[in-house]
Chains A and B, each alone.
Chain A
Amino acid sequence: MVTFEFFVQEGCVPEESRARIVADIESVCAEVLGAEAGPVSVSWTVIRKGFGFRGGEPSTTSLVRSRIPDGHGSDVRAQFLRSIAETWCNLTGATEDEVIVSARDWSWAG
Chain B
Amino acid sequence: MPFYRCLIPKDSLTYEQREEIAVAFTDVHCGLSTAPRSFVQVAFLETDGSGEVADSHGSGVLRYDTPYFIAGGNRAGRSEDTKRLILGGLIGKFSEIAGVPADMVSGRITEAPASWTMEAGRILPEPGAEADWLEEPAAAA
Contact = CB atoms under 8 A, between A and B. Distances in A.
A57 to B, nearest CB: 8
Given A85-B121, A96-B121, A108-B59, A54 B40 contact: yes
B119 A100 contact: yes
Interface string B47-75: 00000001111110000000000000100
Interface residues of A, number: 35
Contacts of B3: 7, 63
A74 B115 contact: yes
Size category of the binding interface on chain B: 35 or more
Interface class of chain B by DSSP: mixed
Contacts of A104: 57-58, 112-113, 116
A43 to B, nearest CB: 8
A97 interface: yes
List 8 A-B pairs, minimum CB-CB distance, nearest first.
A110-B58, A110-B110, A53-B22, A56-B23, A81-B118, A102-B117, A55-B37, A51-B44
Interface of A: 5, 7, 45, 47, 50-56, 59, 61, 63, 65, 67, 74, 77-78, 81-82, 85, 96-97, 100-110
